[in-house]
Structure 1
Amino acid sequence: MKGADILVEMLIGYGVDTIFGVPGDTNVPFYEALQMREDRIRHVMARDERSAGYMADAYGRFTNRPGVFECPSGAGAMYSLPPVAESNGSSVPVILLTIDIPLPGEGRGVLTELDCAKLFEPVTKMSVQVKSAQKLPEIIRRAFRTACSGKPGAVHLQIPEDMLLAEVDPATISLHVEEECRTFPAFPTRPEAGKLEALMELIRQSERPLIVAGGGVSRADAGGVITRFAEGCNIPICTTMTGQGTIDDDHRLAIGVIGDNGYHPHANWALEHSDLAIFVGSRIGSVVTIGWTFPKVTLNRRLVQIDIAPEVMGNNYQNLLSILGDARLTFGDLLAQDLRVDGARHEPWVRELNDHRARFWDHAAPKLAADTLPMRPERVVRAFNDALESSGEPALIYSDAGTPTPYMTRYLRINDNRTRFCIPRAFGGLGSALPAAVGAWRAAADKRPIALFGDGSFGMTVGELETLVRLQVPAILMLFNNGTFGWIKGLHRLKGHNQCFGVDFLPPDGAAIASAFGVRAWTAKTPADLDAALAGAFAHRTGPCLIDVHVESIADRVPPVYSWLTRRGQDPMALEAADHGYL
């Protein structure tokens, strides 16, 4: 067998049905091996290596399997760095295969020579160079084991082209795979004896307990079991941005999103006033705690942390109790016990939070219904939410950084547990959502892929419109169009620089650009335009479609960001959600 055949057979053995990538000089042998097995593994060609990485990232987020992508040597590897860093920082299992120059060319000035293994070391769980074709099976097994076990993350393999061309006697190797590592979390852990009873005793003693679900809950697919536990104990649930979807938004125990960006003031109030905060699958990082300044009443000695990664335990606060374990297994074990919790003891607390929540939504109603121009982002979210609910179909929603983030996080309400909502938050880079629609489609063909992005992001990945058309992906693309890098322009104004520098550009004619690629497109400048376009988009199923939404910039009005409102001297905890300018 050639090394390329070994590599592809190992990928198939691990259940890889899709590999995303870009062709180059060095990966021709790999493509030949893939072409011979087209009926068992599909290659999706992207138009840029960065896009291929975001496709794999979305695939990993929306399945319980690692996303795999490949690139050629040199610039291909360098372009692949941003999505790998995002996946690793977001605990998404992704495997990158860099098909590199042959080993004999090392150190001799070969075109595209680069120490790729060292390049990816800081942003992966494992980055190694393959130096023997016979070791390919062993290294592939290690790659899947590393990506999927413990805290999931990214793995990079630098595979010289001559390793793929080398002949290997099949009798000298084993192509076996580890079944546990085909999916994640592999080898999930359970808490040690006594920890769960200690947690239950703390819950029984508390009057105002609160569960805070982070991104680890989504990775572990633990939303259902945590919701059932919360119902059994009558404990309200808040989420971080990446934990959204843990519980239906209209559930009486679903309080909202905590933190800085797109937060709910009543959710932050709940965290500040709880007497027992149970964080699950969260690093309790800077966004969640607004730079470790909130809650103003410290979390020390009232915090329980449940996580699969021991290195995050007690890293930022003094935990009352640390429980090492997979979220789904931990709460499954809790449900298997006799809970012996008096839920009525927590009822005044639940009612108080729901009163705050109802007041917030009452005050938000005028914004959500506003017909002012340019359209307010709140009005756009409401139209999208109505159309999504009316469609009755499940969706995989991937939102980019920028204008969609704070408003979608705050105002989107999802009550279909088949629908997933994702915002990549490790590095907050632009340009992920549009290609992510391809990865979402390959993750679950029975769910509608939806991408939300600003015009800054659109300019970085517009070429992937061709990919969506070529593959006939039935994606709905929403372009938030306002002709500026709005988040950065808002920061300029927040610091008193009304004459902003280097942040404005010509607003794109999104519908014309999309149409030129063969994408069905609408322009929406008014709420009536938007409602009609969304109805048309959800009815359109033969390929991708795009709505060019002309929307107010977050540089024109302070968005729902706690730290920004604080800087303007406003009360970020006010439930009335008043409008605030910068100057």
Structure 2
Amino acid sequence: MRGSDLVIHMLLGYKVEVVFGVPGDTNVPLYHSLREKQTDLRHVMARDERSAGYMADAYARLTNRPGVVEVPSGAGAMYVLPCVAEANESSVPMIVITSDTPLSGEDRGVITELDCAELFRPVTKASWLIKSAKRIPDTMRRAFRIATSGRPGAVHMAIPEDILNEVVELSEVSLHPEPHHGIFPAYPSGPSDGDLLTLLELIGAAQRPLFVAGGGTNRSGAGAQLLQLAERMGMPIVNSITGQTAVPDSHPLAIGVIGDNGFHPHANRAMEEADLVIYWGCRVGSVVSIGWTFPTPSAERKIVQIDIDPTAIGNNTENTLSLCGDVGFVADRLSELLTEPMKVPSEWVERLNLWRAEFWSKATAEMSDASLPLRPQRVVKAFNQRLSGPFHIFSDPGTPTPHMTRLLRTDDAATKFIIPRAYGGLGYAIPATVGAWMANPHIRPVGLFGDGSFGMVCGELETLVRLNVPALLIHFNNGCYGWIKALQRLHGHNSTFSVDFLQLNAAAIAEAFGLRAWRVVDEESLERAFDEAFAFAGPSFIDIAVESIADVVPPVVSWLRRAGRDPFSLLPQSDIRLATLPQSHIG
């Protein structure tokens, strides 16, 4: 076999069904093998390497199988770098293959020559340059092993073009895959029963205990196990942004979102009042902890942290108990050890639900405000009203995040809401819908994004149409980099610089690519567009002229504090106009 044939053979051995990529000079041999073998391995061509990486990221998040992305040398490798970093830091298993310049031209000024192994090393779990085709099978095994073991992440292989063309006698290599490493977690593991019994003792002694479902709960696919455990105990659950949709929003134990961005005040109050906080797959980063100020340090409060990554445990918290293990494994084993009835004091859960009901009664009125330009809250209401059945929902960081995180209501167990939170790169949602459709063509993908993101990846609209992906794309059009503009106002006494651009008719652009598109400017056109787009079975694009988060402070704790408001108040706080804040409240 040629080296490129070995790559395809090994991918098939790990039951890889789809590879995302972009053609280039150095991956011609790989494409030749893909075409020649006529296998069930599907190649999805993106219009940009970054988009290919985000497609693979979304695919991996929904399947827990490593997303595979291949790109050519030089600029192709550099373009995919942000997605690889996002996947690795977000604990998403990914196999990255860069087809490199020939070894025969090493250090001779070959065009696009770049030390890709070194380039990817800081943003992956492992990165190699393969210098012999004989090493392709065992390096592929190592790649899958590392990507799916322990804390999952990205692994990179640079394979020079002449190594892809090198012929290898099959007697010289072993083509066996390692089935355990085709899916995460490869080896579910957890702490000792003694430590878990200690945790049960802590829960039994607490009056106001609280589960915190972090992103690791979703990475492990452990939402159902965690909820089942919580139901047996009557334990309330809050979640981080990346822990959203781990449990149904309407469940009486699902209190809401904690932290800084898109938070629920009653959920943050629950954290402040809890005497035992148990983090499930949560690294307690800057957003969850509101810059490591939340919850307020208390001698009364005990903290337990459960995480698959031992280096994350106790990194930002003083733990009473630290447990290293896969969240799903720990939840299952705790349920097995819980042989005696154990119930959290009912008055604790009742108090939290009273706060929750008070918040939502007022938020409902806020979401019905039809003033112009349309508020993002009104858009979320229209979205919620039509979420019947499962959806895979992706949001870019920035404009959609705070209101979607706070107000989105999902109850279908198969629905997932995903935001890339590691590095906050724009341009994720549109290509993510392609990866989601490849992961599960029975669930409609939805992309939410602002016009800053749209300008970066609008070329992938062609990919959606070419592949007939029935994505529903919702564009929050406010003519600026809204998040940054708001920050400039908060820090710069209402002055802004170099953050505004034309408020384009994005619906016309989408139509030019072949999508069905709607332009929304008021409540009537909003309702009509949502009705028709949800009923339409093909690629759809709703372009909504919305109020900018740079004009009215969104639900972000740190921003509300700068505006002189109490972020934990249960009252709606959607009337704080940045441009009219007193100077003493800014900067």
What TM-score results when the alignment is normalised by the length of structure 2? Answer: 0.97
Shift of 1:40: 1.3
Say whether 1:564 aligns with 2:559: yes
Given that 1:433 and 1:451 are in contact with CA atoms closer than 8 Å, whether structure 2 keeps it comes out as yes
Matched with 1:523 is: 519
Matched with 1:454 is: 450
Say whether 1:78 aligns with 2:78: yes
Given that 1:300 and 1:318 are in contact with CA atoms closer than 8 Å, whether structure 2 keeps it comes out as no
Matches within 5 A, 1:111-260: 111-260=111-260
Unpaired runs of 5+ residues, structure 1, are: none
The secondary structure found in structure 2 opposite 1:304 is: strand
Matched with 1:110 is: 110
Matched with 2:338 is: 338
Give CA-to-partner distance per residue, 1:425-457, whole Å, 9 cap, x none.
000010111111100100100000110000000
Separation in 2, partners of 1:340, 1:256: 29
Shift of 1:193: 3.0
The secondary structure found in structure 2 opposite 1:85 is: helix
Shift of 1:300: 8.7
Shift of 1:299: 7.9
Give CA-to-partner distance per residue, 1:37-78, whole Å, 9 cap, x none.
344101000000000000001001111201001110000000
Give CA-to-partner distance per residue, 1:308-328, whole Å, 9 cap, x none.
111111111111111111111
Separation in 1, partners of 2:494, 2:59: 41
Matched with 1:366 is: 365
The secondary structure found in structure 1 opposite 2:519 is: strand
Aligned pair partner of 1:409 in 399, 405, 418 = 405
Separation in 2, partners of 1:187, 1:421: 26
Given that 1:25 and 1:72 are in contact with CA atoms closer than 8 Å, whether structure 2 keeps it comes out as yes
Matched with 2:312 is: 312
Matches within 5 A, 1:495-510: 495-510=491-506
Q: Which letter maps to 1:74?
A: G
Say whether 1:477 aligns with 2:473: yes
Shift of 1:468: 0.5
Say whether 1:491 aligns with 2:487: yes
Shift of 1:500: 1.1
1:236–1:301 distance in 2 versus 1, CA, 3 Å: closer
Matched with 1:26 is: 26
Given that 1:203 and 1:341 are in contact with CA atoms closer than 8 Å, whether structure 2 keeps it comes out as no
The secondary structure found in structure 2 opposite 1:410 is: helix
Shift of 1:354: 0.3
Matched with 2:352 is: 353
The secondary structure found in structure 1 opposite 2:322 is: strand
Shift of 1:148: 0.7
Given that 1:301 and 1:320 are in contact with CA atoms closer than 8 Å, whether structure 2 keeps it comes out as no
1:21–1:285 distance in 2 versus 1, CA, 3 Å: same
Matched with 2:381 is: 382
Separation in 2, partners of 1:4, 1:61: 27
Separation in 1, partners of 2:352, 2:14: 46
CA RMSD of aligned residues (A): 1.1
Matched with 2:509 is: 513
Matches within 5 A, 1:251-290: 251-290=251-290
Q: Which letter maps to 1:349?
A: W
Separation in 2, partners of 1:485, 1:38: 45
Separation in 1, partners of 2:341, 2:295: 27
Given that 1:3 and 1:165 are in contact with CA atoms closer than 8 Å, whether structure 2 keeps it comes out as yes
Separation in 2, partners of 1:308, 1:478: 35
The secondary structure found in structure 2 opposite 1:431 is: coil
Say whether 1:431 aligns with 2:438: no
Given that 2:197 and 2:337 are in contact with CA atoms closer than 8 Å, whether structure 1 keeps it comes out as no
Shift of 1:301: 5.9
Given that 1:300 and 1:319 are in contact with CA atoms closer than 8 Å, whether structure 2 keeps it comes out as no
1:369–1:38 distance in 2 versus 1, CA, 3 Å: farther
Given that 2:208 and 2:274 are in contact with CA atoms closer than 8 Å, whether structure 1 keeps it comes out as yes
Separation in 2, partners of 1:473, 1:95: 24
Separation in 1, partners of 2:521, 2:38: 44
Separation in 2, partners of 1:3, 1:301: 58
Shift of 1:36: 2.0
Separation in 2, partners of 1:38, 1:461: 30
Given that 2:489 and 2:496 are in contact with CA atoms closer than 8 Å, whether structure 1 keeps it comes out as yes
Q: Which letter maps to 1:548?
A: D
Separation in 2, partners of 1:420, 1:532: 25
Separation in 2, partners of 1:27, 1:496: 48
Q: Which letter maps to 1:412?
A: L
Query: More displaced, 446-455 or 361-370?
Result: 361-370
Separation in 1, partners of 2:341, 2:299: 23
Separation in 1, partners of 2:480, 2:219: 34
Residue-pair matches, total: 578
Aligned pair partner of 1:420 in 416, 420, 423 = 416
Separation in 1, partners of 2:491, 2:25: 48
Matched with 2:61 is: 61
Say whether 1:539 aligns with 2:535: yes
Separation in 1, partners of 2:297, 2:272: 6
Give CA-to-partner distance per residue, 1:63-106, whole Å, 9 cap, x none.
12010011100000000111001101111011110001011111
Separation in 1, partners of 2:115, 2:543: 42
The secondary structure found in structure 1 opposite 2:306 is: strand
The secondary structure found in structure 1 opposite 2:69 is: strand
Give CA-to-partner distance per residue, 1:192-212, whole Å, 9 cap, x none.
230111010001100100000
Separation in 2, partners of 1:124, 1:56: 15
Shift of 1:526: 1.2
Separation in 2, partners of 1:559, 1:425: 18
Separation in 2, partners of 1:298, 1:170: 64
Given that 1:378 and 1:411 are in contact with CA atoms closer than 8 Å, whether structure 2 keeps it comes out as yes
Q: Which letter maps to 1:553?
A: S
Query: More displaced, 332-341 or 279-288?
Result: 332-341
Matched with 1:555 is: 550
Q: Which letter maps to 2:191?
A: P
Q: Which letter maps to 1:204?
A: G
Give CA-to-partner distance per residue, 1:319-339, whole Å, 9 cap, x none.
111111111111111111234
Give CA-to-partner distance per residue, 1:130-149, whole Å, 9 cap, x none.
11100100000000111111
The secondary structure found in structure 2 opposite 1:414 is: coil
Matched with 1:48 is: 48
Aligned pair partner of 1:396 in 392, 395, 404 = 392
Q: Which letter maps to 2:545?
A: H
Q: Which letter maps to 1:513?
A: I
Given that 2:274 and 2:301 are in contact with CA atoms closer than 8 Å, whether structure 1 keeps it comes out as no
Separation in 1, partners of 2:338, 2:216: 26
Q: Which letter maps to 2:364?
A: A
Matched with 1:577 is: 572
Given that 2:257 and 2:267 are in contact with CA atoms closer than 8 Å, whether structure 1 keeps it comes out as yes
Separation in 1, partners of 2:65, 2:545: 37
Given that 2:272 and 2:296 are in contact with CA atoms closer than 8 Å, whether structure 1 keeps it comes out as yes
1:300–1:33 distance in 2 versus 1, CA, 3 Å: farther
Separation in 2, partners of 1:472, 1:227: 36
Separation in 1, partners of 2:224, 2:332: 10
Q: Which letter maps to 2:561?
A: T
1:362–1:301 distance in 2 versus 1, CA, 3 Å: closer
